[in-house]
């Protein structure tokens, strides 16, 4: 059996442990879509830490180490300031905490746009330092040459079209894309260009539903929606949004839990017990033998 790193919850340490199953592969994800149809939709969630990966891994086909960690973990205003160093550190943590899902790491803004050669250097670093299976980059037809360059050199690439958060300054915000005929046609053609260049999957984000369906039908590779359509070949959400850790909930998010209330309540109970000198009790202290 292969060996991975699993988090020992009794010690909070990552230790090498036998993996209970073989990890999914990029070709296995690509082959989910046959003759334009995906019988079993692809499940993808974001993960940024080893423990989070450990909890999500049994349920997901893909774990995405998204540059959304800039906002979710570091409180940045957008994903633009995220660095390659951050992506490498968090990507390695997620790989250590998982054994089943394909781990994909976002290429941050400025790490790949200048040239295919720059993209290769950045992607090669991420694969080496994290052990991830693939990288993701944003952009349509303009990035097709880069996608082809990377895949020919052994680096699997996931594309990303529609609302591309790294281009927020050009787009002027996070509004849904594809409302005009011209923009809708470009999103579809962008997806086709990426698929033809060798992308093994494509994320389509924040587009009106008919466009998400059109992209799914047009692209030969699996199309994973976020703010798209249930008819996409799979779905992805930011895990913290899905778990209800933030007050603001984007339209395309369904809250499957309300962890912000749970965490706040637990912290309030802890604070009250500390101030009342109830905690720690006898069960939480070491007594003389």
HEC states along the chain? CCEEEEEECCCCEEEEEECCCCCCCHHHHHCCEECCEECCCEEEEECCCHHHHHHHHHHCCEEEECCCHHHHCCCCCCCCCCCHHHHHHHHHHHHHCCCCCEEEEECCCCCCCCCHHHHHHHHHHHHHHHCCCEEECCECHHHHHHHHHHHHCCCCEEEEEECCHHHHHHHCCCCCECCCHHHHHHHHHHHHHHHHHCCCEEEEECECHHHHHHHHHHCCCCEEEECCCCCCCEEEECHHHHCCCCCCCCCCCCCCCCHHHHHHHHHHHHHHHHHCCCCCCHHHCCCCC
Q: Does residue 8 have a known ligand-binding role?
A: no
Task: Choose the catalytic residue: 40, 117, 205, 247.
Answer: 205
Q: Does residue 106 have a known ligand-binding role?
A: yes
d(CA 167, CA 173): 9
Q: Does residue 67 have a known ligand-binding role?
A: yes
Q: Does residue 289 have a known ligand-binding role?
A: no
Q: Which residues pair with 139 in a beta bridge?
A: 160
Cβ 264 vs Cβ 275: under 8 Å: no
Give catalytic status of residue 247 as yes or no: no
Residues forming the active site: 205
Q: Which residues belong to the annotated binding site for 3-methyl-2-oxobutanoate?
A: 67-68, 106, 136
Q: Which residues belong to the annotated binding site?
A: 67-68, 106, 136, 138
């Amino acid at each position: 059996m292969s060996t991975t790193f699993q988090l020992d919850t009794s010690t909070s340490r990552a230790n090498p442990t036998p993996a209970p199953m073989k990890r999914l592969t990029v070709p296995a994800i690509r082959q989910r879509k046959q003759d334009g149809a995906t019988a079993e939709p692809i499940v993808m969630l974001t993960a940024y830490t080893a423990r989070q990966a450990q909890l999500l891994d049994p349920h997901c086909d893909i774990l995405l180490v998204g540059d959304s960690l800039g906002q979710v973990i570091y409180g940045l205003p957008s994903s633009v300031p995220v660095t390659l160093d951050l992506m490498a550190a968090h990507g390695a943590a997620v790989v250590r905490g998982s054994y089943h899902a394909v781990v994909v790491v976002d290429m941050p803004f400025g790490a790949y746009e200048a040239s295919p050669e720059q993209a290769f250097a950045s992607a090669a670093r991420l694969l080496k330092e994290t052990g991830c299976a693939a990288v993701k980059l944003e952009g349509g037809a303009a990035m097709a040459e880069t996608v082809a360059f990377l895949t020919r050199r052994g680096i699997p690439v996931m594309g990303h079209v529609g609302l591309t958060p790294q281009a927020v300054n050009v787009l002027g915000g996070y509004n849904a894309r594809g409302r005009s005929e011209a923009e809708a046609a470009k999103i579809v053609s962008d997806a086709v260009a990426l698929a033809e260049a060798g992308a093994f999957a494509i994320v389509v984000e924040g587009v009106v539903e008919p466009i998400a369906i059109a992209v799914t039908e047009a692209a030969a590779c699996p199309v994973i929606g976020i703010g798209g359509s249930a008819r996409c070949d799979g779905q992805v959400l930011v895990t913290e949004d899905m778990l209800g850790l933030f007050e603001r909930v984007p339209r395309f998010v369904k809250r499957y839990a309300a962890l912000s209330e749970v965490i706040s309540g637990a912290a309030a109970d802890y604070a009250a017990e500390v101030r009342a000198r109830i905690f720690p009790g006898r069960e939480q202290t070491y007594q003389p033998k």
